[in-house]
Amino acid sequence: MTSNKRILILAGDGIGPEVMAQVERVMEWLAARRAFSFEVSGGLVGGACYEAHGTPLTDETLADALAADAVLFGAVGGPQWDDVARHARPEMGILRLRKEMDLYANLRPALVFDPLVAASTLKEDVVRGLDLMIVRELTGGIYFGEPRGVDTLADGTRRGFDTEVYSAFEIERVCRVAFELARRRGNRVHSVEKANVMESGKFWRDEVTALHAADYADVELQHMYADNCAMQLVRQPRQFDVIVTGNLFGDLLSDCAAMLTGSLGMLPSASLGASDAGGRRKALYEPVHGSAPDIAGQGLANPLAAILSFTMMLRYSFDAADDADLIEGAVQDALAQGLRTADIMQDGMTGASTEAMGDAVLGALDRRAG
């Protein structure tokens, strides 16, 4: 029996609770069939929390998140809260969680399942079998750097400016995440910056090189300029295993990589923070998509991004790669049966509701587990 894992589920708004209900079914299956015990608690976040408490995240729920082994997050937001004051908007719930948990490494895999290979805008032979991971630094760089602002020079010229700044410790901690992930995957890291034209890029490259030599010489490291990386992602994406980069380039490159897979409803993510003395790393797992108010309440949402976020939790918080592989295999089987939610519908396939897709994953799990 695997020891208890404390998971906090924050389903949120719109399709968040709908997709999370399917994740909970998968968790129940694991508990029953694989003797994997979870201690699951829930809480309100986003608009749902605002309605109950006048804030998108209560201090109690934040404390629960900080104490949990991992947080599973759905989605927040919706048009009914458009007029709410900025500090109380649903989206502030997730922003505060990321900030207070100091989640500095954002992991976005781009994984192409064989049955969905035609959903990519790229040629099938370019994306078939694609499995790469982008590690984006999330709490530093130009989105937070000072000075920033808009001012007027003595000659009356107006200008706007931001500052790209990375301290050595910020580079080191996110690159450690990337190297350690690579060791569990293909053992290759591409570190991406613009060392040719940016001082901070040159500094990033020097720091990564030193860290690699000191602690990760067993991992293959290559440096790549960000513009070349964008080109290589659409030219030959299978050359990559783990890409690590700063906040700005990561923002662009992870969206680019996401589209290689073809669908928002299939994209999971993880955000990781520091490890405590016992080796427990703060972690929050969430589908990349939002609350999809246009389809909420209709049973149309694709639950697979949320289920795949849960498999990332198994892999990266609980070291349960076998269970993660099993569930990802079941997702592949469900898709291979021809079932499709509306977002991934293709000619000749069978339409499936959120629950029917969950049923198919559970059925495939039963078959795979014998």
Q: Is 295 in the site for ligand NAD (CB under 6 A)?
A: yes
- Quick check: 293 binds ligand NAD (CB under 6 A)? yes
Catalytic site residue from 114, 227, 322, 366: 227
Asked if 68 and 100 count as a contact pair (C-beta separation under 8 A), the reply is no
- Contact flag: residue 56 with ligand NAD (CB under 6 A): no
- The least CB distance from residue 318 to ligand NAD, in Å, is 22
292 lies in the site for ligand NAD, by CB under 6 A:
yes
Task: Give the residue, chosen from 191, 247, 261, 291, that forms a contact with ligand NAD under the rule CB under 6 A.
Answer: 291
DSSP string spanning 55-95?
SSS-HHHHHHHHHSSEEEEEE---GGGTTS-GGGSTHHHHH
How far is it, in rounded angstroms, from Cα 334 to Cα 359? 9
Residue 251 interacts with ligand NAD (CB under 6 A)?
Answer: no
CB 110: neighbour CB atoms within 10 A?
Answer: 24
Residue 251 is a catalytic residue: yes
Q: Which stretch binds ligand NAD (CB under 6 A): 52-60, 115-123, 245-253, 301-309?
A: 301-309
Options 59, 151, 218, 255, the catalytic residue: 255
Neighbours of 59 (CB within 10 A): 10
Residue 258 binding ligand NAD, by CB under 6 A: no
Reduced to 3 states (helix: H, G, I; strand: E, B; else coil), residue 20 is: helix
H helices of the chain, in order, are 16-33, 47-53, 59-67, 91-100, 124-127, 168-183, 199-215, 226-235, 247-261, 304-316, 321-336, 354-369
Beta bridge partners, 161, equal: 149
C-alpha–C-alpha distance, residues 50 and 58, integer Å = 9
Answer for which of 43, 56, 78, 115 binds ligand NAD (CB under 6 A) is 78
Cα separation, 337 vs 110, whole angstroms: 22
294 tagged catalytic = no
Considering only 11, 71, 72, 75, the residue that binds ligand NAD (CB under 6 A) is 75
Q: Note if 143 is an active site residue.
A: yes
Q: Which one of the listed residues 69, 194, 285, 333 is annotated catalytic?
A: 194
Site for ligand NAD in 326-345 (CB under 6 A): 341, 343
324 binds ligand NAD (CB under 6 A): no
Contact 115, 253 (CB under 8 A): no
123 tagged catalytic: no
Under rule CB under 6 A, residue 289 binds ligand NAD: yes
Asked if 131 is part of the footprint of ligand NAD (rule: CB under 6 A), the reply reads: no
| Residue 302 makes contact with ligand NAD by CB under 6 A | yes
Quick check: 299 binds ligand NAD (CB under 6 A)?
no
Tokens of 61: 């729920």
Residue 219 near ligand NAD by CB under 6 A: no
Active-site amino acid positions: 143, 194, 227, 251, 255
